[in-house]
Structure 1
């Protein structure tokens, strides 16, 4: 029987102190997840499963290293989290899996359904690829060599979820244990003792050409020979975040880890081919600069919006055109601005106190004690204000158009030329710029520019 690794998120040392995770309702994420994890471990051991609980004092990176040092074929790993949101109405459970891995998605559905069958009052937020997470990828899903999933059991910021978690903790534990037991049986249906692995071979296609050597499929993940990575002129020799295995005297790395080096990864299930496309079209080391040129077309922006919200263009059909025109007029990268709009509005779903009729696409505040968020007379003026606000942060150059941004004059000009530097300024979220940049990479991948 394969073993089950369980990690309670947070609680370990990160930086200069202990990381409590989310804090809400007089409790912390670390405290709640440790209590829940202990019940899950007890339940699974009572069912004769071999369970390893990750030590609570480890950092996130140490947790991954701890599991990788002990995990073997037929084992699985789950990390449990509790999220927070700005609105207490946001609630429910979700499971994240490594993007483009259908097998892991199916595993995630088993784990999530196990919980939801036991706690029927908990809303279902679905099984989601880790590219839909706030950071664009999740280390626990990508850097662990055995099959792994990350589960959000609810939102501490939701009084309803918090009440359920604290008053029906055993039901949460039973449900998650049900799901983990089902997942473990899928990975090892015959309860066999692990032996020397025999991984199936897969084909490799790089930039439209078949690569002469084959890769291997490990737990549903594509691995490619290190020689190919060298040919792409990518140096992963000092990167601890790249998963490596030694199989039959050849070193392989997980293909999806190359996304951090701006390589697009795809999978053709019919021909069992991992498809890689190296970045040949754009200069990636300047993508984070606000004062630069956008490179997408209006149609590509429209498709990106529509693929993430099929109703996005019903009320704002001209928005991609407006961002391109206003961004080009002021020298602001309209791709970055457009992706910030997608983040702020939830791909034009709005919510969070800002209504669509306010034409406020970037969460701009008002002045003089007015409403929390500014309003603009038209979509164009709203976009113009957004572009001007970005230019205020990124440049000392004067505006081309008349000022419509109500807070333009309060910004220290040129203090944040990179999108990463508006984190903690535009938003209190210190990962704000990273989230925008992750969305832009998704935009470029959908447009086949990366």
Structure 2
């Protein structure tokens, strides 16, 4: 009998400290998700499914290990989460699936549809690949052996979502149970006897050329021989997050994990081919991807199309912004692709959701005021706002003098040249120690959408 694994996010110990997840007055994410999970589990068991509930005291890493020690390829695994934003207007459910997996996207849509059927009052933010998350990947969707998804059921910080989560908990549980039941049947096969999974082979190309050895397909995810990564110049010896499997005495790794090493990973369904593209086969020089000083590669149209794909309204509201980034960055010698990607992180793709910034401030880089005020800096126009961000990046990344008149109110407070690489902005430009990682995740998505990576 196929199994269903359910994890309520957070609640365990991370580095010896209890992790409650999002916190709002009167409740926490962990508490709400545990209550929801405790309704889903008996409902599915009453329908004849074998359900395993992940212990609540496990850390995120221990949760992955616990599931992997028990799951099979015919099982499914779901983690339920809730979000919180500074802006209480942000709301809605979203399902995350592993990138470059159309089958898993279909499964996520199945789960979302079942949830909305039971609770149509929930706003849907859609189904998204994990590359669209803040970090560019999600461990729960990447590192579990069986098919896995994350469902964020809503935002505790939004009054409507919170009311639904607390007052319609039973209906939400029934919706997720419906979706999990359908998903489990889709993966394991109809009926009580699960199908025996096969391990088909797939083709591999590198920078457009055929590679001699084959990859394999496990749970609809493409895996490539680990020996191939050495040829790509990728060292995986210290990366514990990369999932390895052994099949016919050959070690394979999940192809999509190579994105973290600046390798573009595509999939051609017609020819069943994993398409790998490296920096050496692109227009981007190896070793320059994360250097703030330099010149960007994307055109105004490519940036505009990327922005439209993430926030269609931004194209009409800020049609000239890509041009401003190219012009202002070129004057100071800053990579406009990096500055543009930073803007996407700081403003949530110009939606300003979850930020303290207001569009009227023209503050696209989240620059603080010179006096340390809570409102942050404001600029008289979009061009001056972009110029200030470019100047602030140059302050961190270079000791060269500015070309244009100073407009950055905090330029003088920065030790010049202390952060030439994007990841060195973490903890400096932002208190977030993963700030640089988030910018790089957006930058990779930008280059992939433009066909540059």
Same fold (TM > 0.5): yes
Instruction: Please name the residue that 1:402 is paired with.
Output: 405
Whether the aligned pair in 1 keeps the contact of 2:6 and 2:77 (CA below 8 Å) is yes
Residue 325, structure 1, aligned to residue 319, structure 2: no
Whether the aligned pair in 1 keeps the contact of 2:130 and 2:141 (CA below 8 Å) is yes
Deviations 1:205-236 (A, max 9, x none): 22211222222221111112233234334333
Name the stretch that deviates more: 257-266 or 440-449: 440-449
Residue 347, structure 1, aligned to residue 313, structure 2: no
Whether the aligned pair in 2 keeps the contact of 1:2 and 1:191 (CA below 8 Å) is no
Deviations 1:88-126 (A, max 9, x none): 111111110011211111111121222222222211111
Instruction: Please name the residue that 1:183 is paired with.
Output: 183
Whether the aligned pair in 1 keeps the contact of 2:188 and 2:194 (CA below 8 Å) is no
Whether the aligned pair in 2 keeps the contact of 1:326 and 1:383 (CA below 8 Å) is yes
Deviations 1:365-404 (A, max 9, x none): 4456989244333332221111112223334443221111
Residue 295, structure 1, aligned to residue 261, structure 2: no
Which whole-Å CA distance do the structure 1 matches of 2:193 and 2:251 have between them? Answer: 25
Instruction: Please name the residue that 2:36 is paired with.
Output: 36
Whether the aligned pair in 2 keeps the contact of 1:73 and 1:194 (CA below 8 Å) is no
Instruction: Please name the residue that 2:67 is paired with.
Output: 67
Name the stretch that deviates more: 319-328 or 362-371: 362-371
Deviations 1:226-280 (A, max 9, x none): 3323433433344322222222333222111111222111111111111111221
Q: 1:359 aligns with which of 342, 359, 362?
A: 362
Which whole-Å CA distance do the structure 1 matches of 2:421 and 2:315 have between them? Answer: 29
Name the stretch that deviates more: 364-373 or 227-236: 364-373
Residue 254, structure 1, aligned to residue 251, structure 2: no
Whether the aligned pair in 2 keeps the contact of 1:361 and 1:383 (CA below 8 Å) is yes
The TM-score, its normalising length taken from structure 1, stands at 0.91
Whether the aligned pair in 2 keeps the contact of 1:203 and 1:215 (CA below 8 Å) is yes
Partner SS state of residue 287, structure 1: coil
Whether the aligned pair in 1 keeps the contact of 2:74 and 2:195 (CA below 8 Å) is no
CA 1:128–1:55: 2 relative to 1, 3 Å: same
Name the stretch that deviates more: 78-87 or 358-367: 358-367
Give the Å deviation of 1:64.
1.2
Which whole-Å CA distance do the structure 2 matches of 1:310 and 1:29 have between them? Answer: 30
Deviations 1:288-318 (A, max 9, x none): 3333443334443344334434454445444
Instruction: Please name the residue that 2:392 is paired with.
Output: 389
Which whole-Å CA distance do the structure 2 matches of 1:353 and 1:237 have between them? Answer: 40
Partner SS state of residue 20, structure 1: coil
CA 1:233–1:370: 2 relative to 1, 3 Å: closer
Give the Å deviation of 1:285.
4.4
Name the stretch that deviates more: 17-26 or 352-361: 352-361
The TM-score, its normalising length taken from structure 2, stands at 0.91
Instruction: Please name the residue that 1:440 is paired with.
Output: 443
Partner SS state of residue 245, structure 1: strand
Deviations 1:394-436 (A, max 9, x none): 3444322111122333444444443334334434444322211
Whether the aligned pair in 2 keeps the contact of 1:95 and 1:112 (CA below 8 Å) is yes
Instruction: Please name the residue that 2:55 is paired with.
Output: 55
Q: Which runs of 5+ in 1 are unaligned?
A: none
Instruction: Please name the residue that 2:151 is paired with.
Output: 151
Partner SS state of residue 337, structure 2: helix
Q: Which runs of 5+ in 2 are unaligned?
A: none
Instruction: Please name the residue that 1:241 is paired with.
Output: 241
Which whole-Å CA distance do the structure 2 matches of 1:401 and 1:126 have between them? Answer: 43
CA 1:81–1:346: 2 relative to 1, 3 Å: same
Residue 449, structure 1, aligned to residue 437, structure 2: no
Name the stretch that deviates more: 223-232 or 45-54: 223-232
Aligned length: 450
Whether the aligned pair in 1 keeps the contact of 2:216 and 2:224 (CA below 8 Å) is yes
Instruction: Please name the residue that 1:378 is paired with.
Output: 381
Instruction: Please name the residue that 2:21 is paired with.
Output: 21
Instruction: Please name the residue that 1:214 is paired with.
Output: 214
Whether the aligned pair in 1 keeps the contact of 2:188 and 2:195 (CA below 8 Å) is no
Which whole-Å CA distance do the structure 2 matches of 1:227 and 1:378 have between them? Answer: 52
CA 1:314–1:173: 2 relative to 1, 3 Å: closer
Which whole-Å CA distance do the structure 1 matches of 2:372 and 2:197 have between them? Answer: 66
Partner SS state of residue 153, structure 1: strand
Name the stretch that deviates more: 133-142 or 223-232: 223-232
